[in-house]
Amino acid sequence: MGTLSLSDFKEVRIPAPWGHISGRWYGNRTERPILAIHGWLDNLGTFDRLIPLLPDYIGVLCIDLPGHGRSARLQPGMHYAVDDYVLIIPRVMKEYGWSKVSLMGHSLGGIVSFIYTALAPHTVDMVISLDMLLPSSLAPKQALAYVIHSMEKHLVEEDRQVESNLHEPPSYTLSEMTKVVAKGSFNSVTPEFAKHLLHRQVLRSQLYPDKFFFSRDGRVKYYNVTQMEPGFAEEMTKRIGRKPYLVIKASMSSYIGPKVEKPIAILHKINPHFEFYEVEGTHHVHLHAAEECARYIVPFIRHHRPPTLTSWSLSGKEQQLSAEEKRMQQEKFFERSKNKRSKL
């Protein structure tokens, strides 16, 4: 039994009232796959380096969220929001007739997976969350400032898009674009790996044949973020119950920090199928440290979505983690968090 091939995929186009959702279904297309959801401003290319490391008996359906990649934009005058992205999951399930779903999400995709799982746990059989668990909880003044900023910028972007219908957007060489992606991700995506995101979000300029422009909807930069106060977040976490849930934290990222300690502690206490690991790297850890992430993801998939008898094989060579190593990894995070609090 081997691993998935990045060249073995089927382009999919799922109809939606505003247009369509684009995606790529990698590997096995005879059984229900894992549904993979990318992060903010990214697209399904974010999983390019991880896909070839996953077992080939199970497929992976990677989608572009609305306004991202090659999926349709929302109509003019509409606003993107996290809660609406959550509804993409049941839409995909309905399209393929699934009663259950397996989720893998990075960043925004991790938030979407958390919210959906908490709201409809009976339809989820496992979750893999990459450097994210739940939405950040901002102080009231910070939250208000963000909403005001987002509204103002959204209106500016709408005016800019009206202008763009008459004039082509600013264009760049591919080399310049890799630097733009790196800067926009706060150097989480290095120029070396930017190519994995660019191939689904650029179009060739008609004015300058050697240049390209970004094709994603600029309004996605100012989407509505769900504010989740601590008590509400904890109640949401409790609803996940015993669902298999794997969280991988990037060591150089702050997205899984003190504010999510309580939800993680809840999962650690009530969920015997909860696993937490830390991998060296920045927020896009699944891109630049794909092999290390796969070291935890592959055994998790094999345990909670094992091969059917028709494809069963004992030849898988991925490294299995001992129960002791898992326990030490998880306790390491809690001990470090405890030490940080004691210094405050």
Catalytic residues: 107
- Closest listed residue to residue 170, CA positions, set 207, 220, 222: 207
Q: One-letter amino acid identity for 26? A: Y
Q: Name residues whose C-beta falls within 8 Å of residue 212's C-beta, 6 or more positions apart in sequence.
A: 171, 172, 173, 174, 177, 202, 203, 204, 205
User: Three-state SS for 318?
Assistant: coil
Tokens of 177: 């674009």
Cα dihedral 214, 218, 221, 222 in deg (nearest 10) = 180
d(C-alpha 227, C-alpha 219), whole Å: 19
Q: How many CB atoms lie within 10 A of CB 131?
A: 29
- Closest listed residue to residue 140, CA positions, set 226, 80, 227: 227
d(C-alpha 25, C-alpha 58), whole Å: 11
Tokens 């080939």 belong to residue: 56
